[in-house]
Structure 1
Amino acid sequence: MVVIEIDKNDLIELVGKQLTDEGIEETLFLIKIESKINGDKIECEMNPDRADMFSVEGIAREMKGFLGIETGIKKYDVIDSGVVLKKQKADARPCIACGIIKDVVLSDYLVKSLMQVQEKLHMTIGRNRRKVAIGVHDFDKIVPPLVYKDVDDETFVPLGMTDKMNIKGILERHPKGVDYAHLVKEIYPLIYDKEGVISFPPIINSERTKVTENTKNLFIDVTGTDEKTVNQVLNILCCNINERCGKIFSVKVSNKVTPQLEPKEISMNVEEIDKILGIGLNESDIVEALEKMRYFVKKMKGGKIIAGIPAYRSDILHKIDVIEDVAVGYGYNNIEPILPKIATIGKQSELEKLSRKIRELMSGLGFQEVLSFILTNKENNFVKMNTKGECAEILNPISSEHNICRTWLLPSLMKILSSNKHREYPQKVFEINDCVLLDETTETKTKQIRNLAAVISYDNSNLTEMKSIVETILSSLGYKYEIKDYNHPSFIESRCGEILIDGDQIGFFGEIHPKILENWQLEKPVIGFEIRVD
């Protein structure tokens, strides 16, 4: 969950309606925000998928729609600024989007909101600046044209400093450089204007383009590794600031123009909405509910509805998300609860009991549990592990990083090791979680399985150590097992074993091949195992 603090008086002013504390809390609850009011401050807790509501401006926009003050989609006029940013070779962080907000009034409320939303976006969908990083500058101090490129070294005055520093100095001595040095290596992405460096993403901006109380025009750069997410973050920032003040101007970034704030359309019909919600909504009810949730809605023949999704709604992946918004707009408090006709007593499944026992066992062996996404990509699941195979692919993925269902857990653990090279060693992590395999005999053509995997990384890790751990786990669970030599493309030849129960393979273990370590940019040896537990 994401927690932000907003000012009550600022919220009321942005909503444009006098509200009591009880009215604020009730409205926030109905748009899926838990709140606590302490005097003039409101603490808001929400799901991390609603990045557009990580600021008071986004919350006020949602409340205005829900309360019927301003319904339907807001049209954002984007004016061509004439500013061009040329992207040259930028392999370190290949994606960039920029926008300009002019005629900004930098009140204390806006400054605090802008700082907070940057922090929350960095922390959540930005993956602590690894996936997305944001830079905000005083546009009047920038001299176009702009260039984004990788360099080996450069000197400039970083934000908060008075003297020039080179890249190495920033990474070693500047507070932000120390915090985020692990995100850049060997080549460094920089944004230049005519007079020099304005930004070193994802680390620090230049002191020269610092935003002050006298700033009237903002330049926003968003860089990262995933183009869709980069564009979504820029859209959120531009739309949220525009709720309060300013005019939005576009920037030509190589062969594209950003931000793109036109709504995307999705079609549904009344019948499928009613089938999912089951509360008997007619076409007019659905249109009204969606307009309260700030959608553009167009009624077509045959009960068909086309919904225009606001550009700031990065959480809408499928029509089911729009249908959920129909329920929110209608009001969860207006849906009458019905007791089920069948009385049952819930209990934990045998698989969950076994999983809990394994978690306790792994913790006792000194491992730390991690949880990773079931969605991944072929590069991580197969290519980096030197394996081949078939998998369930996502038809309409929101990101190229998450476009298939994983078939095993070890790649997820290797990715975690790769992201934590700056942490202390030895590193011992495990995961017990679900994977998805293709199965033509089932209705969905797939089956979900439960696997256990673990890795250890430090200088002296070896096969004997992992064999001992595997034997301890299997013996503690009461399994009669057999271990044989095994060749697996992810492990060193003759340094790998398979685990058999009643002649069937249930898993394998060994020393990860140096080629695999190189693929994940790991410098220390890694041993690992994976066992199917369902």
Structure 2
Amino acid sequence: GKHGADCLLTWTTAVRPHAVAAVLRNITFTQERYDSFIELQEKLHQNVCRKRTLVAIGTHDLDTISGPFTYTAKPPGDIRFKPLNQAKEYTAQELMSLYKTDSHLRHYLHIIEDEAVYPVIYDSNGIVLSMPPIINGDHSKISLNTKNVFIECTATDLTKAKIVLDMMVTMFCEYCEEPFTESTEHIAQLLTKMCLRSEVMSDGEQIEVEIPPTRSDVIHACDIMEDAAMAYGFNNIPRTTPRTYTIANQLPLNKLSELLRQDLAAAGFTEALTFALCSQEDIADKLLKNISETRACRISNPKTAEFQVARTTLLSGLLKTVAANRKMPLPLRLFEISDVVLKDESKDVGARNNRRLCAVYYNKSPGFEVIHGLMDRVMQLLEIKPGQGNGYHIQAADDSTFFPGRCAEIFACGKSIGRLGVLHPDVINRFELTMPCSALDIDIEHFL
């Protein structure tokens, strides 16, 4: 009577209150797919489902049963059906005794065996689909000829149940006649969930979406599709290879930069990342250069004096970083591999980016040999041997940024690629430093 109904309600709400289901239509099973289908359920049962305590999955041949389906709970003596792979009917009580010795199923009996009532799922004709989380009925078992699959998940945790159901559907939807289809109604619901009020139009194919004033970020149709994907869950969308002839690859320049960064760090230098914009003074006066010879691109309306021009060298950023870290123990070894911006009339925008490598060594003695050693290591990594012609060599050069007689130009494969040397004392002072410093600056685009 009434008490019994209360008891059932209490059981399903308190012990295993949630059930979710889905249907895969027009699926084609092969032995391999069938084995994979069973294997996936086993895997999910063990991990996400926490050995069936959180979620139990039942899969059935939909054409052998008829909805609507009822998820309820009954005393063990009142549940009677023929379980999977058995020849006759048993009551739930008898099944519990039968499976006590079953190497596979005995591990799950404890989940319900002490309860007064057991969960059970019936179809509209009273056929038992399953007694979760123990066993499915034999009547609705799946075979290789199954075309439509009914998946039910009963659970103590609704979120986990949805995750498991989504995984099952996503993994096997690809074997359906119409894989990965989302109904127009579902997409409209998902968008409405994302606060974009949507409804299906009369043709049943298109969706009318209303963008509220609070969503100024929605500009194109692709923004709406992104919201639909978020509501659906990016992790639920299966990974596929695009049907194009191109395969994505890292830009050679970026690959080279990454490899060099790794090895410069291994050589004991610390990587710095400095601003791409700086003051005019940083790249000219402080480096004892004239602004006209720097080929710098000016910002027409700079907000601060610190951001007047795009940097033409990485050196000033590194020296400012050294100045900010004067309290750190000596020596300071820093490097940066980034782009500088140079005016170039041959380009459509009038300027070009140039990838450079810059390193500084700051200590009580100038450490020219440390910077020279670093340059040799870089060349060794680039597989360029010392020497003229196709090798690399350095020769004395004059540069106002460097100490007179302590600067060299670097040549590789017959081209000038940069400078190294001890910085001029005036440069040191202008960056508010007090110790000698040597630097290396090379263009790494030459090595591609």
Q: TM-score, normalised by structure 1?
A: 0.38
Bigger Rg over Cα? 2
**Structure number with higher strand proportion:** 1
